[in-house]
Structure 1
Amino acid sequence: MLKSTLEYIKYIRRLGETLFQLLSEALGLQEDHLGSIGCAKGCSIVCHYYPACPQPELTLGVRKHADPGILALLLQNEISGLQVLHEGQWFDVQPIRGGLVVNIGDLLQIMSNDKLKSVKHRVADNHVGRRISVPCFFEGHATFLDKPFGPIKELISEANPPRYKEFRLREYIARFLSSSLDQNKDSNSSLIAK
């Protein structure tokens, strides 16, 4: 089990590096831009287990939230439960065997100056079977904590002014951890919104 987990981590990190290259290009930056500033560092993996629920309409697996980090890659088994919010409606994300869900985090939205958007999501319980999900979060290099953080300078212009003021990531994380999931994005907006 440990060997296969370590092997999975090695491949998921490599996939993260490739995705950051593609995202850099999509933003009109040099291919290595996001990687060179440490976005592919700080990778952590969490495992979630949701047992079958006899009355799923009375509970919720994980409340509405947006991921605070840079990028999340989610592996899930064939049991559905993940939902995304789009134009005020919740939509099921049907699991695809062997597929990964790629989720933009709040920090990548900030760095991209809203060119890339994080999405609110939740997990609904179900009575069908046991749901397992393994998200891998890319939160950036530890040196991010005390440096000024905000939109990437190359993405800012007179026609595209910064939508977020610079802030210290340490303050952002402290505020995120001190509030509930439903309030996180809203409570951090006063810290980072222009």
Structure 2
Amino acid sequence: MSATGGDGNDRRREELQAFDDTKAGVKGLVDAGVTAVPAIFRHPPDALRELPSPPPADAPAAIPVVDLSGAPREEVVARVRRAAGTVGFFQVVNHGVPDELTAGVLAGVRRFHEGSPEAKRRAYTRDAARKVRFSSNFDLFQSAAAGWRDTLFCDLAPDPPRPEELPEAVRGVMPEYGAAATALALRFIAHFYSKGLECRPLDYFRLQH
């Protein structure tokens, strides 16, 4: 590696570390009045040329939808089997998690991201063992270019975090949402996904109640 390349890598590492040390994420840059995208977020021109072309705007959606309401169980199992065997993932609708609960979580997460820098700094960590962690780019120090995103991660199952571990903005709604989402996952895996794949859920998914 040339001296120039080494210096460039060292400078980038310093810029990444300086960004990470703020514990404020991308929103912190915006709040600070940044007027241009910093270099750590820019992809090298060669990498951009290698990206695949986006699909046409009028291309049909390719994500299968599995509706849990109304259809007989055998039909739902067949849809799950078909989606898992072709696309590999699918969207579940009419699943029983109340819309207002989902909306409440989204509103709480938005409050957190738009809230005080102090609350973000308290939650900021790259320790994967923490059940609740806020950070910007989980692969910040490995990727060729950082993504313009911040993430609040909450590990809600099988052992949810204690209420005091959750940021105040989501503390009132996240436990309830986690319980509802976990119940859906257990029911869906036990009654539909495992049947579609013809396997025993406890053997393949290590479910914990």
Q: TM-score range by the shorter chain?
A: under 0.3
The structure having more radius of gyration, on CA atoms, is 2
Bigger proportion of residues as helix: 2
